[in-house]
Chains A and B, each alone.
Chain A
Amino acid sequence: MSRNKSMLAANDPAGLARKVPALSLRNKAVLAVAGTLLIAFAASATAAEPATSKVDTTHLAVTDKVVTVGQLHSATGTMAISETGAIEAERLAISQINASGGVLGRQIKIIQEDGASDWPTFAEKAKKLLEENHVAAIFGCWTSASRKAVLPVLERDNGLLYYPTFYEGLEESKNVIYTGQEATQQVFAGLDWVAKTKHAKTYYLIGSDYIWPRTTMKLARKYITTVLHGTVVGEEYAALGSTDFGSTINKIRLKKPDVIYAAVVGGSNVSWFKQLKSAGINGKNQTLLTLSVTEDEAHGIGGENLVGFYSAMKYFQSLDTPRNKEFVKQFKAMWGANAPIGDVTQAAYEGPWLWKKAVEMAGSFDTDKVVKAEESGKITFDAPEGMVYLEPNHHLKTRLRIGEWRADGQADIVYTSDYIMPNPFPKGY
């Protein structure tokens, strides 16, 4: 609270003026001397950095020392299970940026708000962050529903959101940078791989019943029938939170598909894999490729229930590169040795870094200038997953990886694709 107040005062000389008459004459004199000294000191200390009036012309929460950003995830409610990793990764990135001198010489301060797994709350908190706190950027959201709720607020107040989750595509807002994969980046390369290496002809699609699985499966079905010349022998959506898959599993058994292609989420995901295993369907006798299991989910499902199944993600914690090993070490040092690092967690880590690079290229915190820098096509980042390239359509050019799950809840990477251009609006789908 006090931080916000002092920032407001600094940005608003009128507010300061209102306070002064309340002080006695002697206090005033002391204050004046102290103030002069402080200004002189501040001027000398930040002489190397651009003046605040230069880097902020739109009344953001920027001072000579500090820039404030918002963090908006669900710390409570059903989505807290998934969003915790993103919160942790963003905090790690920001603390590292601060340790290396901050952004344009300013330390990043975080105001964290809780979306509480409730979409109207997300919109309300985004409004608060933008209109009361004047944050320079927001790192947040996880589900598509929360992003869609925040979108109108962002566009009206010209805010900037870094969104970490892989999602269904069909969106490209000026005010959002998407650090996760859109559907074509996750679906097509994965299906190519499974068709080629497993000689798959028949596919059974199953997902949870909401926008992301439905859109993704629509893309998958079209790709399977037109490009791979395979057959979709079944398509099924389970209600969110559904815990009984007995009948669905029997249907799958009857159809005997070469591949089960799955995007079940949340608590249902755990039931789905536990019941598959207990129905005698496992990695040895069935190929299963899922879009919704990262190390985070594997932690809850239990590695022993996943052995031999495949996930299509851009990042796995087991990725064997010096850069990733360093990242895993830093993450565990900050959040504990047991903290799993999933695909979205790594994508969330990229957000603050991409923002820092764009701000420094623009030489300004102003949203329009930062967005222009983001769209330049020249922003790249040496991320744990490897180099990523921010394309003018606000998405990242990345690779897709296929991981085979082990009993310890980690995945062996069995395939890495070439770089895939993001294409949020695929033609003909």
Chain B
Amino acid sequence: MDGYSISDLWSILVMQGFSGLSLFSVLLLMALGLAIIFGQMGVINMAHGEFMTIGAYTIYMFSKVTQEYFPGLMPYYFVVAIFASFGIAFAAGYLVEFLLIRHLYKRPLDTLLATWGLSLIMQQIFRSVFGPREVSATLPDWLMGAWKPTPNIDIPLNGLFVMAISLVVTAAVVLFLYRSSWGLKVRATTQNRVMAGSVGINTKKIDRVTFAMGCGIAGIAGATFTTIASTGPTSGSLYIVDTFLVVVFGGAGSVLGTVASAFSIAQAQSILTFFLTNAMGKVVTLLTIIIILMIRPEGLFISKVRR
């Protein structure tokens, strides 16, 4: 590293640290919805990425409509659109649970096949409605560009934004699961469905709302990612592998595990990519995960669930 001044190296260190944190919040946001669906309900939802795409297309629709009819509101539409993307993905999830998932609770492996089929159907719907080409929402200016605390350091604003959203959503999920009476019922249902039913919990309703909640969070994630990635009919499939990786590595059923897992994967990948090549960084990260999972098959944090 000769030929670089101390201040150069310092700024790179700061930006590299930020880039790790930013990847962490991306992974966390991707995985939270699935952590609820897979972790709490045991449903292997292969269509998780497509619920994210619903969120991304919601942003696109809002951006189009705002540009067309209320150009003055362009700087603000994004905030409203994020809530809408939660709502729309929630509604879609609610419907999917009612039509498909609830018939498959007794056959967890079949949910894998069924939701994979669902993901193909959803991709084709996106293609028919929005066309096969990628689209791009016009983002408000305050989301693009960089914040310069010193002349040498650029902190991406969209990275900060993703980080903020992911912190808010994580906090909301933790409050929902561990501090609300609804969360108590969800956890009771996960731990012992028959017992929960016998004390008067409507387990069917709990299932439906929990699934829809996971999908809604996926919608928020997808909406947020329009600031850093593409919006197309198959964009969701880019995320599905990483999403499962984070949830499985963290230990299904543990929100803390998901956070820890997203953090360690992101830091490993970000640091290794900096010193090795992009591909090697990924190889080393994945190998490490495989080895750790061989030693701890249940993931980093084992949840105490009676099975």
Q: How far, in whole Å, are A420 and B238 apart by their CA atoms in the complex?
A: 38
CB-contacts of A60-82 with B (<8 A): 75-78, 80-81
B71-79, B140-148, B247-255: which one contacts chain A? B140-148
Contact A278 to B279, CB < 8 A, known contacts A243-B228, A270-B229, A271-B229 = no
B135 at the A interface (CB under 8 A):
yes
Residues of B within 8 A of A151 (CB): none
Q: Judging by beta carbons under 8 Å apart, are A248 and B278 in contact?
A: yes
Please name the residue on chain B nearest to A276 by beta carbon.
B156
B19-27, B40-48, B109-117, B189-197: which one contacts chain A? B19-27
Q: What is the number of contacts between chain A and chain B, taking CB atoms within 8 Å?
A: 146
Q: How far, in whole Å, are A275 and B282 apart by their CA atoms in the complex?
A: 19
CB-contacts of A243-272 with B (<8 A): 243-244, 246-251, 253-254, 266-267, 269-271
Contact A280 to B154, CB < 8 A, known contacts A81-B133, A271-B228, A300-B232 = yes
CB-contacts of B145-182 with A (<8 A): 145-146, 148, 154, 156-159
B61 at the A interface (CB under 8 A):
no
In the complex, per-residue mask of B88-131: 1 if CB is within 8 Å of any chain A CB, else 0: 00000000000000000000000000000000000110010001
A165-173, A232-240, A368-376, A378-386: which one contacts chain B? A232-240
Q: How far, in whole Å, are A249 and B274 apart by their CA atoms in the complex?
A: 9
Please name the residue on chain A nearest to B232 by beta carbon.
A81
A296 is contacted by which of B15, B133, B270, B278 (Cβ under 8 Å)? Answer: B133
B231 at the A interface (CB under 8 A):
yes
CB-contacts of A135-171 with B (<8 A): none
Contact A244 to B23, CB < 8 A, known contacts A77-B234, A270-B134 = yes
A84 at the B interface (CB under 8 A):
yes
Q: How far, in whole Å, are A277 and B238 apart by their CA atoms in the complex?
A: 21
Please name the residue on chain B nearest to A77 by beta carbon.
B234
Q: Judging by beta carbons under 8 Å apart, are B146 and A278 in contact?
A: yes
B135 is contacted by which of A209, A242, A266, A299 (Cβ under 8 Å)? Answer: A299
Count B-side interface residues using an 8 Å CB cutoff.
55
A404 at the B interface (CB under 8 A):
no
B7 at the A interface (CB under 8 A):
no
Chain A: number of interface residues, binned into ranges:
35 or more
Contact A78 to B234, CB < 8 A, known contacts A239-B279, A250-B15, A250-B19 = yes
Q: How far, in whole Å, are A278 and B228 apart by their CA atoms in the complex?
A: 9
Residues of A within 8 A of B131 (CB): 84
Contact A277 to B145, CB < 8 A, known contacts A77-B234, A239-B282, A247-B270 = yes
Please name the residue on chain B nearest to A278 by beta carbon.
B156
Q: Judging by beta carbons under 8 Å apart, are B159 and A278 in contact?
A: yes
In the complex, per-residue mask of A80-119: 1 if CB is within 8 Å of any chain B CB, else 0: 1100110000000000000000000000000000000000
CB of B296 to closest CB in A, whole Å: 26
Residues of B within 8 A of A77 (CB): 234
Residues of A within 8 A of B234 (CB): 77-78, 80-81, 267
Q: Judging by beta carbons under 8 Å apart, are B278 and A280 in contact?
A: no
Residues of A within 8 A of B15 (CB): 250, 253, 279
Q: Judging by beta carbons under 8 Å apart, are A254 and B4 in contact?
A: yes
Q: How far, in whole Å, are A77 and B132 apart by their CA atoms in the complex?
A: 9
In the complex, per-residue mask of B215-236: 1 if CB is within 8 Å of any chain A CB, else 0: 0000000000101111111110
Q: Judging by beta carbons under 8 Å apart, are A267 and B133 in contact?
A: no
Q: How far, in whole Å, are A29 and B197 apart by their CA atoms in the complex?
A: 78
B183 at the A interface (CB under 8 A):
no
In the complex, per-residue mask of B1-31: 1 if CB is within 8 Å of any chain A CB, else 0: 0001000100010011011101100100000
CB-contacts of B271-295 with A (<8 A): 271, 273-274, 277-279, 281-282
Please name the residue on chain A nearest to B157 by beta carbon.
A278
Residues of B within 8 A of A299 (CB): 133-136
Q: How far, in whole Å, are A404 and B135 apart by their CA atoms in the complex?
A: 21
Residues of B within 8 A of A300 (CB): 133-136, 230-232
Q: How far, in whole Å, are A253 and B11 apart by their CA atoms in the complex?
A: 10
Q: Judging by beta carbons under 8 Å apart, are A278 and B144 in contact?
A: yes
B136 is contacted by which of A209, A253, A302 (Cβ under 8 Å)? Answer: A302
CB of B39 to closest CB in A, whole Å: 23
B232 is contacted by which of A237, A267, A274 (Cβ under 8 Å)? Answer: A267
Residues of A within 8 A of B135 (CB): 299-300
Q: How far, in whole Å, are A75 and B233 apart by their CA atoms in the complex?
A: 12
Residues of A within 8 A of B156 (CB): 275, 278-280
Q: How far, in whole Å, are A423 and B277 apart by their CA atoms in the complex?
A: 32
Q: How far, in whole Å, are A209 and B283 apart by their CA atoms in the complex?
A: 13
A301 at the B interface (CB under 8 A):
yes
Q: How far, in whole Å, are A80 and B128 apart by their CA atoms in the complex?
A: 12
A304 at the B interface (CB under 8 A):
yes
Q: How far, in whole Å, are A80 and B130 apart by their CA atoms in the complex?
A: 12
Please name the residue on chain B nearest to A266 by beta carbon.
B230
CB of B12 to closest CB in A, whole Å: 5
Q: Judging by beta carbons under 8 Å apart, are B233 and A80 in contact?
A: yes
Q: Judging by beta carbons under 8 Å apart, are A267 and B228 in contact?
A: no
CB of B229 to closest CB in A, whole Å: 5
Q: How far, in whole Å, are A297 and B282 apart by their CA atoms in the complex?
A: 26
Contact A253 to B237, CB < 8 A, known contacts A76-B127, A246-B23, A275-B156 = no
A237 is contacted by which of B19, B23, B278 (Cβ under 8 Å)? Answer: B278
B66 at the A interface (CB under 8 A):
no
Q: How far, in whole Å, are A280 and B19 apart by their CA atoms in the complex?
A: 14
Q: Judging by beta carbons under 8 Å apart, are B282 and A280 in contact?
A: no
Q: Judging by beta carbons under 8 Å apart, are B144 and A304 in contact?
A: yes
B303 at the A interface (CB under 8 A):
no
Residues of A within 8 A of B264 (CB): none
B203 at the A interface (CB under 8 A):
no
In the complex, per-residue mask of A29-54: 1 if CB is within 8 Å of any chain B CB, else 0: 00000000000000000000000000
Interface residues of A (CB under 8 A from B): 75-78, 80-81, 84-85, 209, 236-239, 241-244, 246-251, 253-254, 266-267, 269-271, 274-275, 277-281, 296-297, 299-302, 304-305, 340
Given A239-B279, A250-B15, A299-B136; 16 other pairs, CB 8 A cutoff: A75-B132, A76-B127, A76-B132, A81-B234, A85-B133, A236-B278, A237-B278, A243-B229, A244-B26, A246-B20, A248-B273, A271-B229, A274-B229, A278-B144, A300-B133, A301-B136
Interface residues of B (CB under 8 A from A): 4, 8, 12, 15-16, 18-20, 22-23, 26, 123-124, 127, 131-139, 144-146, 148, 154, 156-159, 225, 227-235, 237-239, 269-271, 273-274, 277-279, 281-282
Contact sample, A vs B, 23 pairs, CB 8 Å cutoff: A78-B234, A81-B234, A209-B278, A209-B279, A242-B282, A243-B228, A243-B229, A247-B274, A248-B273, A249-B19, A250-B15, A251-B274, A269-B230, A271-B230, A274-B229, A280-B146, A281-B154, A299-B133, A299-B134, A301-B136, A302-B136, A302-B138, A302-B139
Q: Which A-B residue pairs are the 5 nearest by beta carbons?
A: A300-B134, A246-B19, A270-B230, A280-B154, A280-B146
